[in-house]
């Protein structure tokens, strides 16, 4: 009987940790990049301390059309390694075309 209660407690603790994991993971997201306007299509998330000097490795080079900023201020550049035309954003952008950056971003980094 005692063993059974120990196993139940261990299972309950494990379930609690699993439920908390997505919330903790979401808290570390700094920006979410989307392939289509209005936050739709395929997406990739970058952590608050994660830069992407070349979006080609994640198959997102020149494919971003919208983004959601969760934390910080981000620099988006048209060339890899933060070169070319760059803009900074601190809020969600539903259509990057309005900023002249639709399907042109090749690198992203947090600046603040």
In a domain, 5, yes or no: no
Whole-angstrom Cα distance, residue 91 to residue 5?
49
Query: What local confidence, expressed as pLDDT, does residue 19 receive?
Result: 47
CATH of the domain at 73: 2.60.20.10
Q: Determine, yes or no, domain membership for 6.
A: no
Number of compact structural domains in the chain: 1
∠112-40-26 over CA atoms, to 5°? 45
Strand partners, 69: 31
**34: in domain:** yes
Task: Give the pLDDT of residue 12.
Answer: 46
Q: Is residue 45 assigned to a domain?
A: yes
Residue 7 has pLDDT above 70, yes or no: no
**35 inside domain:** yes
Of 59, 43, 68, 66, the residue nearest 106 (C-alpha): 59
Whether 7 is covered by a domain: the verdict is no
In a domain, 43, yes or no: yes
Global pTM exceeds 0.95: no
- DSSP E strands in 1-112: the ranges are 29-36, 40-47, 66-69, 74-79, 83-89, 107-110
| 52 secondary structure, DSSP code | B
pLDDT above 60: residue 33: yes
What pLDDT score was predicted for residue 25? 60
pLDDT tier for residue 20 given thresholds of 50, 70 and 90: very low
Domain containing residue 69: 29-110
Would 82 be classed as within a structural domain?
yes
- The rounded mean pLDDT for the chain is 86
% of the chain beyond a pLDDT of 90: 76
d(CA 104, CA 79): 8
pLDDT tens digits for range 37-55: 999 999 999 999 999 999 9
């Amino acid at each position: 009987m005692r063993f059974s209660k120990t196993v139940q407690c261990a299972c309950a603790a494990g379930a609690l940790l699993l439920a908390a994991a997505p919330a903790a993971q979401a808290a570390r997201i700094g920006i979410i990049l989307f392939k289509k306007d209005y936050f739709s299509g395929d997406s990739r998330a970058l952590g608050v301390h994660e830069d992407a000097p070349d979006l080609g490795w994640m198959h997102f080079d020149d494919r971003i059309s919208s983004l959601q900023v969760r934390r910080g201020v981000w620099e988006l550049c048209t060339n890899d390694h933060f070169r070319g035309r760059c803009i900074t954003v601190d809020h969600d952008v539903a259509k990057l075309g309005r900023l002249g950056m639709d399907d042109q971003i090749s690198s992203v980094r947090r600046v603040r």
